Every structure is written in C-alpha cells, then in structure tokens.
Amino acid sequence: MDLRQFRYFIQAARRENFRKASDDLRVAQSALTRQIQHLEQELGFLLFDRVKRGVRLTAAGQRLLERSQHILSEVDRLKESLQLEAHVPSGPASLAAPPSIGRLLFSKLALTFLKSYPKVNLSLVEGWTSDVMGRLRRGELSLAIVTDPPLDPLLEYTQLFTESLHLVGRPGDPLLKKRSLEVGSLGGLPLVMTNKSNRSRQLIENSAARDGARLDIRLELESADTLHQLLLSGRIYGLLPYSSIFQHAQSRRLGAVPIRGMTMTRYLAKSRSEANSVARETLEKCTTAEMRALANRIGIGETTRSPIDRTSRSI
C-alpha cells in the first residue's frame, strides 16, 4: 500500500465515480482503477460495489475511508511541519571578529538571535585575522570578519567597508587637531601597537615602509582598556581604525586625526568547502546588515553585497 492508492481511493469514494475522480486527479481512469484494484487485492476485500451509474462504498470501504482520511491528514500535517522546520534556522553557527568590531557587533547579534532565532546555538568569539583564517579552513568557524586578508582559494569574501586609520592620543593635542596627516609625519612619534602577528599592524608597517616613514613602536599591547588609559596620558600615540575609537573621538574623550592614504578593508569570510546551512545563511545575513548599519552610523566607506574573489587579486 502507498499514499497514492489512498488518495485515489478517497477521491473515488467522494465522487462515487471512477471517471470523475480520475478527472479531478488528472490521471487516466485506467490508472486509477488499477491502483484501487491493487489496494483491494492487498487488503483482501472489496472497497466498492459497482452500480449502474458509478460505485458505492462497501461497509469495509466505509471503515477504510474514515481511517485513510485521518492518515492522509496526519501525513500532510507532518509534511508541512517538516518543510517549515527545514527553513527555520537551527543548530550551531559561529562568528569571529576583531575585538574592536566584536564590542560593537556581538551584543546586537546576540539579542537578535535570542529573540528571533532561539534554535540556533550561536557562538561569538574574538579573534584577529591571522588567528581565524586557519579555523575557517578547518571548518571550526562558520564566518569571520577579517581585515584585508591574504589570497586564499579555500575562502570566499564579501566586502563590508573600508575605513581610515587614525593617529590617536590625548584630546587637545595640537597634532591631532589637524584635518589629516601624511604617513611620513608619523616617523619619530612614540607609538603603541598590537603584536606583529596582527594583520592591522602588518598593514600599517607596510604602508609606512612604502612612504619611507620609520615607526617608533615603544609598546605592544592587546588590552583596549589599558590602551585608552595610555593614550590619555599624552605620552604615546596609537594608530587605530576609526571603528575602534569613533565613540571616544565623537565624545572628545580621545583626539584623532586620519592618516592620508592609510586605510583597511573589512571582509566577511567563509569556507568554500563547508556545506551551507540555514543557520549560517541567517548569521551571514544578520552580520552583513549590522556591519552595514555600523558603517552608516560611523559614516565610513561603502558596503557591497557581492562576494569578492581574492584568489586572483593582490592586496
């Protein structure tokens, strides 16, 4: 027995006529008749009495009609439920981002998923570009926000925004009141920076070297709170992306001036080999929307929705 036989049987019982039932179902009358005969053979009793103008249910056929209608109703409900669940985000999904981006993004994403996608097991972790690239390749992360990543044929990138790097220090510092600075003017300034494995640090040093500026890096530091305290002392400067200091700059808790020609671009990265899931698609959509909103709020760069092929393009 199969569901098709039950559907043919139910329609024939409703219409009390095989020809009308086959017309309703858009099948040949011979096919409908054959399926009902197979069903009768499997059950071992007749379901219809053949009368002059059609068919009429036997007593056994009447009992089967009641049961089969219930069975098909349950099957349809199950099918609808499964189809709905297939499009409901569920299961694990993870995102890594640099600490400066994570502080602006993670709480918003967490609240969105707690409210709208409670079946997703969301993991939000801080990580620098150099650290998360390997985890993406190994399938340990669903997505990562990275900074000007190196070429990699295993990963797909979507550009989020481009932002300027700023010289940052004590508010009121005359140097930081200028409209902008040349890269060459950074030479000789005492600087605090992240460690050498950090992608932002590498980009800054490469840019300075191209312009012949020799950076005087006095300290290496990862703690954002300690960094801000040091910058407020007026004894040292930082080179930071605007997204990491815009709140302090706008409230005048820190002074900041952009460095001409020194920018970095943020990308959303994912593995090309990892099977997609509704949970990852949803996290990707929400992350892109939040980053676009962040760029608009800060007033930096331009966002794009198209994937960027960085397998054949130099940085």
Four-way CATH pick for 3-85: 3.30.1950.10, 1.20.120.550, 1.20.120.1200, 1.10.10.10: 1.10.10.10
* pLDDT, position 83: 60
* pLDDT, position 226: 87
- Single-letter code of the amino acid located at 249: A
* pLDDT, position 311: 40
pLDDT in tens, 28-69: 999 999 999 999 999 999 999 988 888 999 999 999 998 888
Give Cβ neighbours of residue 9 (< 8 Å, ≥ 6 apart). 35, 36, 39, 47, 64, 65, 68
* pLDDT, position 309: 45
Show the CA angle centred on residue 194, arms to residues 193 and 195, nearest 5°. Answer: 120
**Where are the domains positioned within the chain?**
3-85, 91-308
CA–CA distance, 296 with 294 (Å, rounded to integer): 5
Find tokens 């920018």 and name the residue: 263
Q: Which helix (H) or strand (E) holds 109?
A: helix 99-116
pLDDT in tens, 180-220: 999 988 888 999 988 887 777 888 888 888 888 889 999 99
* pLDDT, position 191: 93
Q: Which residues pair with 125 in a beta bridge?
A: 96
Q: Which helix (H) or strand (E) holds 201?
A: helix 199-210
Give Cβ neighbours of residue 83 (< 8 Å, ≥ 6 apart). none
Give Cβ neighbours of residue 59 (< 8 Å, ≥ 6 apart). none
pLDDT in tens, 96-142: 999 889 999 999 999 999 999 999 999 999 998 888 999 999 889 99
CA–CA distance, 284 with 243 (Å, rounded to integer): 20
| Alpha-carbon torsion angle 134, 139, 141, 146, nearest 10 | 40
> Of 226-230, 238-242, 265-269, 308-312, which one has max mean pLDDT?
265-269
Indicate if the pLDDT at residue 313 is higher than 80. Answer: no
Indicate if the pLDDT at residue 312 is higher than 50. Answer: no
Contact 267, 175 (CB under 8 A): no
pLDDT in tens, 140-158: 999 999 999 988 899 999 9
DSSP E strand boundaries for the chain:
48-51, 54-57, 91-97, 120-126, 143-147, 155-169, 190-193, 216-220, 237-241, 255-271, 307-308
Say which CATH topology domain 91-308 has: D-Maltodextrin-Binding Protein; domain 2 (3.40.190)
pLDDT band at residue 86 using 50, 70 and 90 as cut-offs: low
Indicate if the pLDDT at residue 306 is higher than 50. Answer: no
CATH topology agreement for domains 3-85 and 91-308: no
Residue 187: φ, ψ to 5°: -60, 130
* pLDDT, position 94: 96
Mean confidence (pLDDT) of the chain: 87
